[in-house]
Amino acid sequence: MKFNRISLVFALFLTICLAPAYGANKDIVELQTQVSQLQQQITQMKQSFDERMGVMKNLLEHNTDAANKVTAAIGDLQTSINKQQQDRAAQVDQISGQIQALNDTMDELKVRLAKLSKQFEDMQAAQQSMAAQQSQVQQQAQAIAQAPAPDVLYNEALRDYTGGKNDLAVQGFNDYIKFYPNTDLAGNAYFYLAEIQFKAADYKKAVANYDLVLQNFPSGNKAAAAQLKKGYALLELGKQDEGTQELKHVIQRYPRTTEATQARERLRKVGAAPQKNR
């Protein structure tokens, strides 16, 4: 409407301004015709504009509805996503708890498995040890079954010892100890081995075998002699205090024996006063 008013004012203005000369000039008529045509064109343009504005308004409304629907859809989607994230977070927490529980169970199983493995290894070691001991016992039993009688074996070794055949005597006494380690004569065999080593100036090994006599056969018939000769061997090794102490023990433990007399004599030689009998 505002546009139509402007057009009419404009036409009236032209008519007023050009009216005095219109009757006289043909050009004015043509100009009016052009103005009329222009008004028609403006009217058509307005109609076209109104139509287009209507179309655009419809499009705008349609787009607005579509935008609102999209916005609503996005809101629903966001809500769904948030819910899914919350559900997933809860699931993740639950799965994390389950994984932790599984890890704890796995650690416990590893500890148990380690204990079982250790027990199995111990059982295997014990079984191997028992098998080895059984094999050793069987070998010893077979060797004993094939070995000479104890008296025969000991007497042969002693005969070699008195005859100065030390190599044969050492082998014989070692065989006797091997086959009959728990007999009384085993202490004698240790003693004679120590005597051979003492004569060979191997005093350290001699002391070790004398000790075996004293420790394993303290009531044997070679105990006094073993302690006496141990004292001699220690003195030969330069262990003055230990040697004299062993000799004094001989006098204390076996006061009325030949070994006690020999101990006193040796103590006098090394300058240590022997202990008197009470």
Q: What is the pLDDT of residue 231?
A: 96
Structure confidence by residue, pLDDT tens digits, 233-255: 999 999 999 999 999 999 999 99
> Looking at the predicted structure, is the pLDDT value of residue 9 above 60?
no
**Amino acid letter at 221?**
N
Residues in the chain: 278
Q: Contact at 8 Å (CB) between 222 and 187?
A: yes
The C-alpha atoms of residue 255 and residue 277 are separated, in whole angstroms, by 7
Q: What is the pTM of this model?
A: 0.50
**pLDDT at residue 278 is higher than 60:** no
The top-scoring range by mean pLDDT among 104-108, 123-127, 149-153 is 149-153
Q: Give CA–CA dist 93/85, Å, rounded.
A: 12
CA-to-CA distance for 231 and 142, rounded, in angstroms? 39
CATH of 149-270 given 3.40.640.10, 3.40.50.2000, 3.40.50.170, 1.25.40.10:
1.25.40.10
Helices of type H across the chain: 2-22, 26-146, 150-162, 166-179, 184-199, 203-216, 223-236, 240-253, 258-270
pLDDT digits (tens, 9 = 90+) for 65-85: 887 888 888 888 888 888 888
Which residue ranges make up each domain of the chain?
1-40, 97-146, 149-270
In angstroms, the CA 277 to CA 252 distance is 8
d(CA 13, CA 79): 65
pLDDT tens-digit series, residues 84-105: 888 877 887 888 888 888 888 8
